[in-house]
């Protein structure tokens, strides 16, 4: 198995996410990828390679252009409106509401997400871009990303099912 890895995943290192009405430390953190990468190496599952840079064309083939632009600019817009701390959405579209992209960052966060489990941080764009271009490199590989890229969605970001940060990924075994 080939593992595509970059330290850029460390740039998505949110401080908290909203679960059950409480702000808690993010489950998706650089430490989780470190645990998995260490296991891949210990089990000698194959080579670990750096991602190649394919530009944004592969990203735009999967995600809508306005979503890509949102991710690229969200942090700067958030900082301008609120300051330099993690951005989490406050509200979301409900069925039957008009699906018109808001102009303000607060509305755009809710427009492009469906939960408060993945904060936008100073490093979100760079981490997401590095993860997205990695998938072009191979047909089948494990690509550790922070947060996991929303490959199944073309215009939403969110977290994935959670596991305790200290719990290693059971699917990576010799």
For residue range 67-107, what is the model confidence (pLDDT) as tens digits?
A: 999 999 999 999 999 999 999 999 888 888 888 899 999 99
Show the CA angle centred on residue 15, arms to residues 34 and 23, nearest 5°.
Answer: 125
Strands 2-4, 48-49: parallel, antiparallel or unpaired by DSSP? parallel
**Which stretch of 8-12, 102-106, 160-164 has the lowest confidence by average pLDDT?**
160-164
List the one residue out of 146, 170, 169, 143 whose CA is nearest residue 159: 146
What's the pLDDT at 119?
95
Would residue 55 be called left, alpha or beta, if left means φ above 0 and alpha means ψ between -120 and 50 degrees?
left
Average pLDDT over residues 27-53: 89
The whole-model pTM stands at 0.75
Q: What are phi and psi of 141, to 5 degrees?
A: -160, 165
What's the pLDDT at 123?
95
Domains of the chain (ranges, CATH numbers): 2-142 (3.40.800.20)
End-to-end CA distance of the chain: 12
Whole-angstrom Cα distance, residue 74 to residue 123?
A: 11
The token pair at 104 is 């303000």
Question: CB pairs under 8 A, 24+ apart, for 60-65?
Answer: 62/132, 62/151, 62/154, 63/132, 63/150, 63/154, 63/155, 64/154, 64/155
């Amino acid at each position: 198995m080939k593992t595509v890895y970059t330290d850029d995943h460390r740039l998505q290192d949110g401080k908290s996410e909203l679960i059950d009405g409480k702000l808690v430390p993010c489950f998706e953190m650089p430490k989780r990828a470190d645990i998995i990468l260490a296991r891949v190496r210990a089990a000698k599952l194959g080579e670990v390679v750096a991602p190649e840079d394919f530009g944004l064309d592969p990203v735009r083939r999967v995600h809508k252009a306005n979503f890509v632009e949102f991710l690229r600019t969200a942090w700067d817009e958030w900082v301008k409106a609120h300051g330099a701390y993690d951005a989490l959405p406050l509200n979301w579209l409900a069925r039957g509401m008009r699906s018109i992209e808001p102009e303000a960052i607060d509305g755009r966060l809710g427009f492009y997400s469906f939960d408060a489990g993945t904060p936008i941080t100073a490093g979100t764009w760079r981490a997401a871009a590095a993860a997205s271009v990695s998938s072009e490199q191979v047909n089948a590989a494990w690509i550790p990303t922070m947060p996991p890229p929303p490959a199944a969605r073309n215009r939403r970001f969110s977290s994935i099912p959670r596991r305790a940060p200290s719990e290693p990924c059971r699917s990576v075994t010799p």
